[in-house]
Structures are given as structure tokens and as C-alpha cells.
């Protein structure tokens, strides 16, 4: 009977008759429904608010996992190639050392000038001058120019250039000029036929380690 009365009250209830400022005067069934709704909304709000935060945290952790996995794979590859990289580094250092040994020291420059002179004489050239020029400083090395003036045949000059390239020390050749001995007048008269003058700059190098 009480349940029927309660249902009857709910059926006959007019929501417009509620005093929103005085919920204490609401009928008991309405109070019960209001409490249930409030409780349900509170649980839903708390649940979804908590769940949203956890989902964001999960997404952030998933992104971190992807980043860490990529970093781990990269480091694993580096570790696998470490022995190879060390061998390559040793080979580079050995090659660099071999190149440095081909660069003359201060005390070896006179010997290098003598080697260049002998190479030219063996090729059949006659030297007019071989002069060491002022040293030029670059970022990692020092350049020692050598101005050379010789005369001889075209083939002798070719043999000289080839011989200088094959010296044990690094020497490069630059800025050459070749002209007939005696100039145009000699060509017209036929004097000095086949004889040429060549001016050329040879350059050798010294490593600059910061202390030299």
C-alpha cells in the first residue's frame, strides 16, 4: 500500500511546484530521486575526469616508449658497429700519420731542394734559379713555395714534372709558364731551336699543430 501511495505521489507530482530554494520541503520520493541523480552525476564526473587524465598519461607514456625504443635501436646499432668504427679510426690515424711523414721538417727542406735539383738535372734540364720563397701560413698547415727557373726540351720538362710528382715528400707544382729560349727573335732566326725556358712554382707543406 505504501509503494502504491509513493507511485501515486510521483504520478501526481508537478515539478513546477517545487521550491528550488527550499529542497527540504520536497516530497520524500522527489528527494530520493534527486539524491540518486546527484550521486550518479558525481560518480560519472569523477570517473570520466579520472579516466581522461589516465588516458592522456597513457598516450604520453606510449609516445615516450616509441622515442626510447628508437633511441635504444640506434644505440644498439652503434654498439654493434663500435669495433668497425674503431678500426676505421685507427686506419684514418695511420693514413694521416703516413701523410705527415711525407711532409718535410725544417731540417729536411735543404735536402728536398737538392732532390728537386737532381730530378731536373737527371731529366736533362739546366737550372737558372731555385729559390725558397717566404712561408705561407694556412689554418692547419704551412706552405713553403719554391720558385724554379729551368731551360731544356719539352720532353725533359715533362720528365722533370713526373719525377717531382714521384718524390717521397709531398710536392705540388703550380703557375708554370713556358717560352722559347731567346723569345720571338730566336724563333725567327732559328737559334736555340727546341730549347725552352720554364718558370714554375713548387710547393711543399708542413703540418701546423699549434705549437710550431
Where are the chain's structural domains?
A: 1-80, 104-207
For residues 42 and 50, what is the distance between their CA atoms, to the nearest angstrom? 12
State phi, psi for 136 to the nearest 5 degrees.
-110, 135
pLDDT value at residue 211:
47
Do residues 116 and 130 lie in contact, with contact meaning Cβ atoms separated by under 8 Å? yes
How do residues 128-182 score in pLDDT, each as one tens digit? 999 989 988 877 778 889 999 999 999 999 999 999 988 888 888 999 999 998 7
pLDDT value at residue 1:
45
How do residues 63-118 score in pLDDT, each as one tens digit? 888 888 888 888 877 777 777 777 777 777 676 666 666 666 665 788 889 999 99
How do residues 55-64 score in pLDDT, each as one tens digit? 777 778 888 8
Do residues 198 and 177 lie in contact, with contact meaning Cβ atoms separated by under 8 Å? yes
For residues 78 and 47, what is the distance between their CA atoms, to the nearest angstrom? 46
Q: What is the radius of gyration, based on Cα positions, of the chain?
A: 48
Q: Higher pLDDT residue, 121 or 96?
A: 121
For residues 44 and 142, what is the distance between their CA atoms, to the nearest angstrom? 80
pTM equals 0.49
pLDDT value at residue 67:
86
CATH level 3 topology of 104-207? Alpha-Beta Plaits (3.30.70)
pLDDT value at residue 189:
47
Amino acid at each position: 500500500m505504501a509503494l502504491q501511495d509513493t507511485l501515486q505521489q510521483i504520478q501526481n507530482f508537478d515539478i513546477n511546484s517545487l521550491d528550488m530554494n527550499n529542497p527540504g520541503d520536497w516530497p520524500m520520493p522527489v528527494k530520493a530521486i534527486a539524491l540518486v541523480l546527484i550521486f550518479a552525476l558525481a560518480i560519472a564526473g569523477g570517473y570520466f575526469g579520472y579516466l581522461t587524465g589516465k588516458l592522456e598519461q597513457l598516450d604520453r607514456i606510449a609516445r615516450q616508449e616509441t622515442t626510447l625504443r628508437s633511441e635504444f635501436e640506434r644505440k644498439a646499432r652503434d654498439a654493434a658497429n663500435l669495433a668497425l668504427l674503431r678500426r676505421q679510426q685507427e686506419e684514418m690515424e695511420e693514413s694521416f700519420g703516413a701523410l705527415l711523414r711525407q711532409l718535410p721538417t725544417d731540417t729536411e727542406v735543404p735536402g728536398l731542394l737538392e732532390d728537386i735539383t737532381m730530378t731536373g738535372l737527371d731529366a736533362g734540364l739546366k737550372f737558372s734559379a731555385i729559390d725558397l720563397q717566404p712561408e705561407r701560413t694556412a689554418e692547419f698547415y704551412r706552405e713553403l713555395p719554391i720558385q724554379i727557373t729551368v731551360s731544356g726540351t719539352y720532353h725533359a720538362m715533362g720528365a722533370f714534372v713526373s719525377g717531382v710528382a714521384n718524390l717521397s715528400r709531398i710536392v705540388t707544382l703550380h703557375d708554370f709558364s713556358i717560352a722559347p729560349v731567346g723569345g720571338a727573335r730566336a724563333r725567327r732566326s732559328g737559334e736555340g731551336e727546341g730549347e725552352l725556358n720554364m718558370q714554375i712554382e713548387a710547393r711543399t707543406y708542413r703540418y701546423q699543430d699549434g705549437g710550431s
